[in-house]
Structure 1
Amino acid sequence: MASDTAAAEGSSLVFHPMDQFIVKPLFGDGAVGMFTITNVTLWLFLAVLAVIGLMVIGTSRRAVVPTRSQSIAELAYGFVYKMIEDVTGKDGLVFFPYIMTLFMFIVFANFLGLIPMSFTTTSHFAVTVILAFAVFITVTVVGFVKNGAGFLGLFWVSSAPAALRPILAVIELISYFVRPVSHSIRLAGNVMAGHAVIKVFAGFAAITLVSPISIVAITAMYGLEILVAFIQAYVFTILTCVYLKDALHPSH
């Protein structure tokens, strides 16, 4: 009986979907410190290199008949430019370099994370929180610099009944400071969940009887994750534009 139990335990499928998100030193096996070069560092650096490769090197030989890299860069440029113009108006176009960089970085970080054996940096809140707080601080500073005390009009719902305005002001103020939290969790949570599900299906693929089903499921999930990688970059960027619009035009 004991041998049967041991054999059953030995043959059981053991996999840990969350292991893929562990931060590890790139060199050696020591503890991770503030200045330790980790797998996160490597893949963040590769994402930056990928953006530079497409937007700088890929467009360095601009031609009337564009190359594939130039075409992709021009499509991305036009896509983000139109997004900013539609959401914030002409006033927001001055922030195009920042928002374009943000969009391209998240897109490449998401797509690089889909490479087998890679590391998905945008699945970590440490990365997405920094991006979200950078947007939050930028928007807040722009709001006060451009509008002065008039930026506080963002929290005062003048169209509401007078008795409700103080209550709504408190709610608006709380929701404003919650923005970086929801902004960061939305990106990291969606990316992490998708990768974890793929890992679960990959673990089940080791079972012979369900292997074909798992392979189909993994393929479908991988295709979905490709779509999610772009959509989450788009959502993060368009929310940045919405927040910027509030800073430029704070009146309700």
Structure 2
Amino acid sequence: MADEATSGGGLSFKPMDQFEVKPLFGGSDIHMFTITNVTLWLALAVLAIIGLMVLTTSKRETVPGRGQSIAELMYGFVYKMVEDVTGKDGIKYFPYIMTLFMFILCANFLGLIPMSFTTTSHIAVTAVLGFGVFIAVTVLGFVKNGASFLGLFWVSSAPLPLRPVLAVIEIISYFVRPVSHSIRLAGNMMAGHAVLKVFAGFAQVAAIAPIAIIGVMAIYGLEVLVSAIQAYVFTILTCVYLKDALHPHH
């Protein structure tokens, strides 16, 4: 977790090395179709979802086992979220939102395994998710509402002189959505894992090892919580954006 400095004999922390993208099979060059550690852990996240949501529920037991209970809990949790935020109109888009939630949740939790790779710490991954949501809800907004979708930017309840100013602010905030949506997730995952590695490095120093180990345990517990919360935040914001697309008028 930490490298010894050859000159001073101390410890040289490199907490950002864990986020380096590396090819899995020979060489160091990365091309468009190179299989990397990101590819591997993205695939494992997909397999984890299949294992939890498909294999454990295939028998559809009346008295569910642990796996089926967790799958049903996740299903009910996201379904209720979509229904509460978007209304009945948004239920038809539940499969997409459920997929987003489970993918982010599984990718976040897999990144907590020692020696693993946290794919959601990379903006390249979260940006695809964020901009995918942005494009989908924008297209949906115009398809469902036509030009009246632009009413999302016109605050009719505000005094008339302020409406143009608020419209500009609304437009800017709307186009910032995919950026904040993706950076929030990547930033939180990267920061937490970097701090974990720093504390793990300090654990090699005998004088402060006990304190550092306690710190690692505390931060690890916090990271488990953050992993779940970030999946929830990303999903509920997706529901809010979907609600705006379905019901754009203030």
Aligned to 1:47: 45
User: Structure 2: how far apart are the matches of 1:31 and 1:127?
Assistant: 20
Displacement, 1:174?
0.7
Q: How does 1:77-226 map to 2 (within 5 A)?
A: 77-226=75-224
Query: Aligned residue pairs: how many?
Result: 246
Deviations 1:75-125 (A, max 9, x none): 000000000011000000000000000000000000000000000000000
Q: 2:54 — aligned with what?
A: 56
Q: State the one-letter code of the partner of 2:170.
A: E
SS in 1 for 2:27: coil
In structure 1, distance between residues paired with 2:106 and 2:48: 7
Deviations along 1:50-96, one digit per CA (max 9) or x if unpaired, are 00111111100111110110000000000000000110000000000
Which of 228, 238, 244 aligns to 1:230? It is: 228
State how far apart, in whole Å, the 2-side matches of 1:31 and 1:186 are: 29
CA RMSD of aligned residues (A): 1.0
Deviations 1:192-218 (A, max 9, x none): 000000000011111000000000000
Q: In structure 1, what residue type is equivalent to 2:167?
A: A
Look up the match of 2:67. Answer: 69
Q: TM-score, normalised by structure 1?
A: 0.96
Separation (CA, whole Å) in 2 of partners of 1:68 and 1:247? 37
Q: Kindly provide the amino acid, as one letter, of the partner of residue 112 in structure 1.
A: L
Give 1:109's aligned amino acid: A
Gaps of 5+ in 2: none
Distance 1:126 1:106 in 2: 14
Per-residue deviation, 1:8: 8.3
User: Unaligned 5+ residue runs, structure 1?
Assistant: 1-6
Aligned with residue 10 of structure 2, among 2, 12, 15: 12
Q: Give a deviation string over 1:146-193, Cα, whole Å, max 9, x none.
A: 110110000000011111111111110011000000000000000000
Q: Could you tell me the TM-score, scaled by structure 2's length?
A: 0.97
Larger Rg: 1
Alignment identity in percent? 76
Specify which of 13, 22, 27 is matched with residue 29 of structure 1: 27
* AA matched with 1:55: M
Relative distance call for 1:24 and 1:55 in structure 2 (3 A) is same
